Amino acid sequence: MTTDHTAISTPTASAAGTWALGDRTVNRIGFGAMRLTGMPWDERPRDRDASIAVLRRAVELGVNHIDTAAFYFMPTRSANELISTALYPYDDELTITTKVGPSRGRGGDFTFEPYARPDQLRAQVEENVRQLGVDHLGVVNLRWGSGMGKEAGSVAEHVGALAELRDAGLLANIGVSNVSAEQLREAIGVAPVVCVQNRYGLTERSDDDVLALTREHGIAFVPFFAMGTAVAGAVPGAAHDETGAAEVATVAAAHGATASQVRLAWTLHQGDNVLAIPGTGDLRHLEENVAAGALRLTPEDLALLDGVVPAATA
């Protein structure tokens, strides 16, 4: 945007500022690779050439943080393979973050069963290394829980196993995903944690305590599904959530922005340590997502949006 109230047409990912992921510095607007392949409930996979074009355009727009996982795949598509095809050899400034823990059968459902034991994490890390064509990984997140929901239990042994792999040179930094505040405290007690990936957004704020803890420790907080179920097809069979739609529309109209841009901008306004990794397989949506990093919400905007009460807690 040309002012604080007008969207710009060709922003870059640097507009939102930067944050450190361990020894790496990344722009706060990144890219999530999950949708590159298409989702398991889609009728067909995404066009491979289109997904490769999206990745290359993301880097052109200044995205230097890409989130992926070996379990992001369709029977004929793999997010890691698309990333390596599109971007290898990788720019020195690019940080690729991946996840381990869950498993998926070749049928492609998202049950994430069986969940890896600590001694099985090395094989998962090595699989990501092989698929991405690197000698070590920049950041590896322990994605906790075998199902789609958050689960209780100790993360200590799994984080400890990743710390051993870090010491062996297979990865540089450790993150955690889908964890409670108690589990984050436990992880921090085992090894330095550089980022937390949890589901969070305007209408889903059950992890405010986790966000507060990351602020306290200077850890990056990286929400996934930050635009919530307002994004068509985010979760199969999920009801369209109209919570906050009127407030978002009011702010969007004032800025000449889209509702998704406003939701992303609100997320980024939750703290300098908050990053965003919106995913898409569409070039236009990619550019809109990156542009959200340049959207500066006013105190009045934030007061209106902060007043939205998520449906689950209304």
CATH of residue 149: 3.20.20.100
Q: Within a domain: residue 278?
A: yes
Q: How far apart are CA 271 and CA 171, in angstroms?
A: 27
Lowest mean pLDDT among 5-9, 84-88, 128-132, 223-227: 5-9
pLDDT at 242: 82
| 266 within 8 A of 305, measured Cβ to Cβ | yes
pLDDT at 125: 98
| 259 within 8 A of 252, measured Cβ to Cβ | yes
Sheet holding 220-221, edge to edge: 31-32, 65-67, 95-100, 137-143, 171-177, 195-197, 220-221
Q: Within a domain: residue 32?
A: yes
Q: Within a domain: residue 14?
A: no
pLDDT at 232: 42
Q: Within a domain: residue 290?
A: no
Q: Within a domain: residue 248?
A: no
Mean pLDDT, range 112-131, rounded to an integer = 95
Give the residues across from 97 on adjacent strands. Answer: 67, 139
Domain extent at residue 58: 24-243+273-284
Residue 71 has pLDDT above 60, yes or no: yes
pLDDT tens profile 194-214: 999 999 999 999 999 999 999
Quickly list DSSP for 218-252.
T-EE--BSTTGGGSTTSSTTPPP--TTHHHHHHHH
Give the residues across from 276 on adjacent strands. Answer: 29
Mean pLDDT, range 228-253, rounded to an integer = 71
pLDDT at 4: 42
Lowest mean pLDDT among 119-133, 166-180, 231-245, 266-280: 231-245
Sequence-ordered list of residues with C-beta below 8 angstroms from that of 186, at least 6 positions apart, any chain: 154, 155, 156, 159
pLDDT at 38: 81
Q: How far apart are CA 170 and CA 234, in angstroms?
A: 33
Whether the bond between 45 and the residue before it is cis, its omega within 30 degrees of 0, is no
Q: Within a domain: residue 113?
A: yes
Residue 139 has pLDDT above 70, yes or no: yes
pLDDT at 314: 42
Active site residues: 72
Q: How far apart are CA 185 and CA 154, in angstroms?
A: 11
The confidence band for 45, taking pLDDT boundaries of 50, 70 and 90, is: confident
Domains contained in the chain, number: 1
Q: Within a domain: residue 306?
A: no
Residue 303 has pLDDT above 70, yes or no: yes
pLDDT at 6: 40
Lowest mean pLDDT among 43-52, 63-72, 285-294: 43-52
Q: Within a domain: residue 112?
A: yes
What the block records as the tokens of 80 is: 């890691």
Q: What percent of the chain has pLDDT over 70?
A: 88
Residue 77 has pLDDT above 80, yes or no: yes
Give the length of the chain: 314
Q: What percent of the chain has pLDDT over 90?
A: 77
- pLDDT, greater one: 46 or 304: 304
The confidence band for 282, taking pLDDT boundaries of 50, 70 and 90, is: very high
Helix (H, G, I), strand (E, B) or coil at 274: strand
List the one residue out of 122, 121, 127, 165 whose CA is nearest residue 143. Answer: 121
Mean pLDDT, range 113-131, rounded to an integer = 96
pLDDT at 97: 98
